Amino acid sequence: MAVATSSTEAAGTRRRSSSDGTGFWHTTFIGTNRILRREYPEHPLSQGDLPALATLYPVGFLVEQDPNTTVRAHFHEADQFQVVVGGAGHMASHAVEGIAIHYTNAHSPYGPIVAGARGVQYFTLRNSYDRGARYMPEARLDLREAPRSFREATVAPQPAFDPTALASTSPVRTKAIAPQADGLGAWRYRVPAGGRVCGPDPQTGAGQYWLVLGGELVTETGPVLPRFSLVFVSPVEDPFEVIAGGAGLEILCMQYPDRGTVKL
């Protein structure tokens, strides 16, 4: 079954935090993470043992990085999508604003992430647990022991959500990251009110995240999901059916590659 969290529900986890001297606000949507456990220990997801590494376990959260700050170049132990949804800045040499999508394999250094005068807000999405950023150059020696396969993909900034674009009479799908042989891909959908579309087959990759960019996503067994709500679809499920609410829907699907590094 897909795991879904509305942005309204997630807002209760918003907590102030910092890493490597950089301040930010952190909001947990799906799964546990080290910052949730540190800043919100009474939350149910902060209880119990940590998830096993390299095992399918979705982790999704929103970072609101402070204005005019820098997150140094680093890497993680999990494959990761990041989606800029507000503010502006740079990720390494790439300008990011509007909707900007970034992907890295585990143990692939990237960055720095530089926030502009309005800060920069981005979702961090993983399909397995990560114990925290490994900052460069101090962590360079850690890479020698890691099962590395460097990969990074940065999509040129796309327009932010535009409600008028939902006035179309039929669904529109665009490719943000063209599908790769191992399943990596990202697609942006615009669906008119009441419309339905089916996403790509999850069994071709290692899990999918669906991020509501605007409008409403209707679920048949749960609440209507507003802007910035999040859904994770595991690789053993049928294709996810997207149903637009009365205001229409704009939604982003991101699929992880099946690299054989995560136990599904």
Domain boundary assignment for the chain: 3-154, 163-255
How far apart CA 225 and CA 245 sit, in angstroms, is 9
pLDDT band per the 50, 70, 90 thresholds, residue 57:
very high
120 pLDDT band, cuts 50/70/90, is very high
The predicted structure's pLDDT at residue 116:
97
CB atoms within 10 A of CB 16: 10
Arithmetic mean of pLDDT, 208-232: 93
* % of residues, the chain, pLDDT over 70: 99
**Residue of 178 and 170 predicted with greater confidence:** 178
259: nearest Cα among 116, 89, 128, 102? 128
**pLDDT over threshold 90, residue 148:** no
Q: Which CATH number fits domain 163-255: 2.60.120.380, 3.30.70.1230, 3.40.30.10, 2.60.120.10?
A: 2.60.120.10
Residue 46 pLDDT greater than 80, yes or no: yes
Q: Which two tokens stand for residue 190?
A: 């615009």
What pLDDT was estimated at residue 161? Answer: 79
What residues contact 186, with CB distance under 8 A and at least 6 apart?
Answer: 81, 101, 103, 155, 175, 176, 177, 252, 253, 254, 255
Report pLDDT for 191: 93
State the average pLDDT for the chain. 93
Residue 166: the pLDDT is 72
Q: Which H or E run contains 25? A: strand 22-30
Are 3-154 and 163-255 the same fold in CATH? yes
Least confident of 98-102, 154-158, 205-209: 154-158
Phi, psi of 243 (to 5 degrees): -125, 125
| 1.10.540.10, 1.10.238.10, 2.60.120.10, 3.40.50.300: CATH of 3-154 | 2.60.120.10
How far apart, in Å, are the Cα atoms of 90 and each of 42, 100, 116, 150, 157?
35, 10, 8, 21, 11
Residue 142's pLDDT is 84
Q: Tell me the per-residue pLDDT of 181-203, one tens digit each, with 9 for 90 and over.
A: 999 999 999 999 999 999 999 99
